[in-house]
Amino acid sequence: MRKGFLYLVAVMDWFTRKVLAWRISNTLEAEFCLEALNEAIHKFGVPEIMKTDQGSQFTSFDWTDRLKRAKTKSRWTAKRGTWTTSSSNVSGGR
């Protein structure tokens, strides 16, 4: 990608720091985050707590509804989370 941004989301186990699932997108829509969450749940089971930042992907209806249906507690500042997400952007070009 010559110009623009790429966005990375990683679903991690907070205790082991293992990356359970990840996705990259060129948009800030929540869908790529949901895909990573669903993959992690499918492979590793439902987490007790999901700790995220307050980005729009993680406060969206789709994200919060998915956690509610999984009976997972959502925390933005939990001291002890089972899983966590991390999102960042990488600038393309100079």
The H or E element that residue 44 is part of is helix 31-44
pLDDT tens per residue across span 67-88: 999 999 888 654 454 555 555 4
Q: What is the pLDDT of residue 78?
A: 43
pTM for this one? 0.77
How far, in Å, are 19, 42, 45, 64, 92 from residue 84 at the CA level?
Answer: 9, 16, 14, 14, 26
Tokens representing 62 are: 């789709």
Question: Is the confidence at residue 5, as pLDDT, over 80?
Answer: yes
| Domain at 18, CATH number | 3.30.420.10
The H or E element that residue 73 is part of is strand 73-75
Q: Which domain holds residue 83?
A: 4-92
What does the alpha-carbon distance between residue 23 and residue 7 come to, in Å, rounded to a whole number?
8
For the chain, what is the domain count? 1
Q: What is the pLDDT of residue 89?
A: 44
